[in-house]
C-alpha cells in the first residue's frame, strides 16, 4: 500500500505534510481518498462473496484446489500448497524486477497486459458459466448455446477493458479494472482453495509482503522506486532531511490520497470469500471483513511516517484471527 497525492485539490494544505512521488496511472492500484478507503474493500468483499456463494453452494463447484490435495494430506498438504504459491510469488517478483532493469519500465505494460488479460478472460468465463448454469440448469441445450456466446463476450470484454486501462487517462477506468480483476481472483481462490491452503497462502504472502516492501532491496520496494515520478515542489527536500523531520515528528507524509494494490484487494476478498465458504455463515464473513478494514486503517495511519507499507500483514492477520475466533464462538453458541 502506498500514498499518492497526485491531485492537488484533494491534498491537505498543512505545510508540515510531505508529498510523495507519483505512481504512474498504469500501475495496478486503486486510487481512493483516505476517508473513503473502506469503499473498494467493501465492494470486492461483497461482490466476491456473492460470486463465491453462488459458485460453491448454488452451483456446487466444490473442488479441492492446490497442488497437494488437502483432503488426502490434511494440514500438511495445505502448508505445502502455501509454500508453493508463496514461492511462485517470490520468483515472479524477482523475475519482474530483472526484466524491468533489462528492458525498462515499458516492459511492465506488457507484463501487466498479458497477466491481466488472461485472468480477466478466464475468470469472466468461469463465473459467467456459473451464472449460466444457475439460469439454465433445467435446459442444458440453452446452457451450451449461450456458453459459446459467453466465450465471445469474455474475449471482447477483456480486450476492451485492457485496452482502455492502458490507453485512457481516466482514474475511474483504472479503478474499475483493478477492482474487477482483484475481486475475481479473490472469489475464485476463496472457492477453490480449502481452509489450510488458504491460511497458508495468506500467511506466506503476508510475510513475503513485509520483506518485499520494507527490506531496502525488496522487489516491491525496488519496483515502486523505479516507477515513481519525482515531484518538483516546495516540499522537495534532501532525503536525509525528510527522514530526520519525519522521525522527529516535525513533518509527516501526506495521506489524503491512497493507492491500494490489486494484490491487497485480491487477498482481502480471498479471505472473506473463504470464510463464507468454510463456515456458511454470513456473520463470520462480515466480522472478518470489518477486521480487514480496521487493519487497513491501522496501516494507513502508519503511512504518515513511511513512504510505503505492506498492505496485507495487519489486515490479513486480524482477519484470520477474527474469522477463526468468531467461527469457534458461533459453533459453540449454535
pLDDT at 117: 97
pLDDT at 216: 84
The C-alpha cell of 35 is what?
A: 476517508
Type and span of the H or E element at 253: strand 252-253
pLDDT at 7: 47
Banded model confidence at residue 14, pLDDT cuts 50, 70, 90: low
Q: What is the pLDDT of residues 133-149, one digit of tens each?
A: 999 988 989 999 999 99
DSSP-derived 3-state class of residue 172: helix
Q: What is the pLDDT of residues 146-182, one digit of tens each?
A: 999 999 999 999 999 999 999 999 999 999 999 999 9
**Residue 6, pLDDT above cutoff 70:** no
Could you tell me which of 264, 299, 280 has the C-alpha nearest to residue 183? 264
Banded model confidence at residue 8, pLDDT cuts 50, 70, 90: very low
What is the rounded radius of gyration, in angstroms, for the C-alpha atoms of the chain? 21
Give me the count of residues in the chain.
334
- The answer to whether 183 and 265 are in contact (CB under 8 A) is yes
pLDDT at 163: 96
324: CB partners within 8 A, 6+ apart? none
Question: Mean pLDDT across the chain, nearest whole number?
Answer: 90
Higher pLDDT, 125 or 216: 125
Give the Cα separation of 235 and 85 in Å (integer): 41
- The answer to whether 47 and 165 are in contact (CB under 8 A) is no
Secondary structure E strands in 10-161? 17-18, 29-33
Amino acid at each position: 500500500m502506498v500514498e499518492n497525492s497526485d491531485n492537488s485539490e484533494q491534498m491537505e494544505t498543512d505545510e508540515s505534510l510531505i508529498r510523495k512521488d507519483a505512481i504512474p496511472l498504469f500501475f495496478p492500484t486503486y486510487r481512493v481518498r483516505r476517508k473513503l478507503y473502506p469503499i473498494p474493500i467493501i465492494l470486492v468483499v461483497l461482490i466476491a462473496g456473492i460470486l463465491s456463494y453462488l459458485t460453491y453452494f448454488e452451483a456446487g463447484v466444490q473442488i479441492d484446489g492446490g497442488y497437494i490435495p488437502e483432503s488426502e494430506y490434511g494440514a500438511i498438504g495445505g502448508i505445502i500448497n502455501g509454500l508453493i504459491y508463496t514461492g511462485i510469488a517470490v520468483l515472479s517478483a524477482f523475475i519482474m524486477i530483472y526484466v524491468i532493469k533489462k528492458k525498462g519500465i515499458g516492459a511492465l505494460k506488457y507484463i501487466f497486459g498479458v497477466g491481466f488479460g488472461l485472468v480477466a478472460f478466464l475468470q469472466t468465463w468461469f463465473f459467467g458459466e456459473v451464472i449460466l448454469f444457475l439460469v439454465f440448469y433445467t435446459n442444458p441445450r440453452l446452457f451450451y448455446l449461450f456458453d459459446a456466446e459467453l466465450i465471445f463476450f469474455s474475449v471482447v470484454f477483456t480486450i476492451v477493458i485492457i485496452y482502455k486501462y492502458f490507453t485512457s487517462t481516466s482514474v475511474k477506468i483504472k479503478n474499475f479494472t483493478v477492482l474487477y480483476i482483484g475481486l475475481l481472483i479473490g472469489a475464485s481462490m476463496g472457492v477453490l482453495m480449502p481452509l489450510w491452503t488458504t491460511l497458508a497462502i495468506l500467511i506466506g504472502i503476508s510475510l513475503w509482503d513485509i520483506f518485499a516492501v520494507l527490506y531496502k532491496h525488496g522487489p516491491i520496494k525496488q519496483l515502486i522506486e523505479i516507477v515513481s515520478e519525482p515531484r518538483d515542489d516546495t516540499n522537495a527536500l534532501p532525503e536525509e532531511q525528510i527522514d530526520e523531520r519525519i522521525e522527529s515528528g516535525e513533518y509527516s507524509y501526506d495521506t489524503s490520497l491512497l493507492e491500494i494494490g490489486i494484490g491487497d484487494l485480491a487477498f482481502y476478498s480471498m479471505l472473506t470469500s473463504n470464510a463464507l465458504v468454510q463456515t456458511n455463515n454470513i456473520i463470520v464473513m462480515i466480522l472478518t471483513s470489518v477486521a480487514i478494514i480496521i487493519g487497513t486503517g491501522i496501516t494507513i495511519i502508519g503511512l504518515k511516517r513511511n513512504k510505503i507499507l505492506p498492505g496485507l500483514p495487519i489486515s490479513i492477520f486480524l482477519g484470520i484471527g477474527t474469522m477463526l475466533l468468531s467461527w469457534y464462538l458461533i459453533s459453540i453458541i449454535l
